[in-house]
Structure 1
Amino acid sequence: MNGLQFYGAAPLTTSRGCNIGALCIVDKEPREFTESDQKTLASLASFVMAEIENNA
Structure 2
Amino acid sequence: MGRKIRRMNFRSKKAYRRWLAYGHATGVFERTPGHVKVYIRGRPHRVKHSRRRKP
TM above 0.5, yes or no, is no
Normalising by structure 1, what TM-score?
0.30
Q: Which has the larger radius of gyration?
A: 1
More strand by proportion, 1 or 2?
1
Normalised by the length of structure 2, the TM-score is 0.31
